Amino acid sequence: MPKVRPRRRPSRTLAVVGLGYVGLPLACLAAEKGWYVIGIGRDRKKLSQIARGISPIKDPGLQRWLRRVAIETTDDLALVQRASVIAICVPTPVDEHNTPDFSAVKNAARGIGRSLRRGQLVIVESTVSPGACQEIVRPLLERSSGLRAGRDFSLAHCPERIDPGSTDWTVRNIPRVVGGIDPVSLRKAMIFYRNLIEAPIRAMHSIQEAEAVKILENSFRDVNIAFVNEIARSFERMGIDTVDVIRGAATKPFAFLPHYPSAGVGGHCIPVDPYYLIERARKGGFDHAFLKLARRINNSMPGHAIERLKQALREQRLNLRNVTVGVLGLAYKKNISDTRESPTYSLLAQLKGLGADYEVFDPRVRTESTVDSLEHLLDRSDALVLMTDHDEFMKITPQLLTRHRVKAVVDGKNVFDKQRMTRARIAYRGIGR
């Protein structure tokens, strides 16, 4: 199929700053819809791959898309001057103290400002705390351009909602919300997204509200996961299967949304976004005790998985100092290769601190695996901790484990058959069951 090569027309030129999980899908969709797209990034190797139609992100959908559309790539932020719309899609992580790190957004805003022209629309897609566009991005754009937001250029926020690995929900069909610093910015951004996205676009009353939507929806998910993780630790002591109970509760057709306990919460969104709200609210004198408690609970789950491992080993008259632990999965969720904020890192650090020998294998993250196959990991392991429920691991059966003399299993995603494991005399512990 011939590549879609839109003609370069300033009125339909989009500059995407940041070509990762958020920026690259947006760039592809815009190119498909006839925009001339300038993709701006820092990693020249990745820029060259994209220019050649190769996706640096292991995502089959993205790879197919890039074969069909043409995107001009560059590491020169000055090229934003050619665009009518500029989308900031850079990472907004937290540092080792869980403090929001705006450095990528600040650098992008300064760099864009130096080449900003009158009449352009700047859209922030990166997840930021309520107030950040007005308090951080706008001043940097104005200072480095000498222009005034609202009068000379427009500024809006449309928080990204990418669900990595999902083929059902993509940048094309996920509904979005948009906020602007003024009615003109809002209107221009609404027109832009209505031209791209095949789903409802909701206009928020302010840019702060648009920022708050994303933080709220992901904090909602984090506290709900923390809730079932606390329930799981309580029900373990009562011999109640938490997963069965949640499935029972989910038969209620209204007012219940199931979440499931696990050995940890990872990803670039859920374990990160609440800290953006916690920090911004703290500056305003408000303490998000509940959000902080939920973060503490979820961050404690890798350690809880180790407690479950110790219990399983004791059942086999073993202990952490005389076994090799096989850890399955480095990616933060199944069937993707993304390891950002993966709870496996915390588990491995704690195992190391306890003097335990371990091997780790993830078929999608081979560069960080210590063995080259599941077979090799099983050969070397006396006990297993499953951290990521990749499809590749679903072939693990009690018979396979017995063959490899694996005596204990911690099922960090509650995906194995507990009864079958127990019947095979394998010490089994789930999370909450």
> Residue type for 433, please?
R
**Which CB atom, from 70 or from 415, has the smaller least distance to ligand SAJ?**
415
**Contact with ligand SAJ (CB under 6 A): which of 82, 106, 259, 380?**
259
Beta carbon of residue 146, minimum distance to ligand SAJ (angstroms, whole number): 34
Tell me whether residue 173 or residue 322 sits nearer to ligand SAJ (CB atom).
173
The upper half-sphere exposure of residue 165, i.e. CA atoms within 13 Å in the direction of its Cβ, equals: 13
Q: How far is the CB of 23 from ligand SAJ (least distance, A)?
A: 13
Of these, 164, 274, 326, 398, which contacts ligand SAJ (CB under 6 A)? 164
If we measure between CA atoms, which residue out of 362, 360, 361 comes closest to residue 334? 362
Judged by CB under 6 A, the residue of 185, 242, 262, 414 near ligand SAJ is 262
Stretch that binds ligand SAJ, among 175-183, 261-269, 279-287, 312-320 (CB under 6 A): 261-269
| Cα gap 413→392, rounded to integer Å | 14
Helix axes 23-32, 60-68, angle to 10 degrees: 40
Active site residue 269: yes
Q: Verify binding: residue 270, ligand SAJ, rule CB under 6 A.
A: yes
Tell me which of 176, 221, 288, 404 binds ligand SAJ, using CB under 6 A.
221
User: 162 or 401: whose CB is closer to ligand SAJ?
Assistant: 162
d(CA 33, CA 189): 16
CA-closest candidate to residue 16, choices 38, 45, 35, 42: 38
Could you tell me how many residues of this chain bind ligand SAJ (CB under 6 A)?
19
Pairwise CA distance, residues 354 & 306, whole Å: 10
Q: What whole-number distance in Å separates Cα of residue 218 and Cα of residue 222?
A: 6
Q: Which helix (H) or strand (E) holds 127?
A: none
Confirm or reject binding of residue 162 to ligand SAJ (CB under 6 A).
yes
| 320 contacts 355 by C-beta, under 8 angstroms | yes
Q: How far is the CB of 166 from ligand SAJ (least distance, A)?
A: 6
* Residue 218 φ/ψ region, left for φ over 0, alpha for ψ in the -120 to 50 degree band, beta for the rest: alpha
In the list 14, 86, 90, 225, the residue contacting ligand SAJ (rule: CB under 6 A) is 225
Mind giving me the DSSP string for 147-201?
--BTTTBEEEE------TT-SSS-TTTS-EEEEESSHHHHHHHHHHHHHH-SS-E
Interaction with ligand SAJ in 313-352: which residues (CB under 6 A)? 332-333
Tell the smallest beta-carbon distance from residue 220 to ligand SAJ (Å). 9
Between helices 301-315 and 207-238, what is the axis angle to 10°? 20
Minimum CB distance to ligand SAJ smaller for 246 or for 312: 246
Q: Minimum distance between the CB of residue 246 and ligand SAJ, rounded to whole angstroms? A: 9
Q: Is 266 in the site for ligand SAJ (CB under 6 A)?
A: yes
Q: Which residues are catalytic?
A: 269
Residues at the interface with ligand SAJ (CB under 6 A): 160-164, 217-218, 221, 225, 259-260, 262, 265-267, 269-270, 332-333
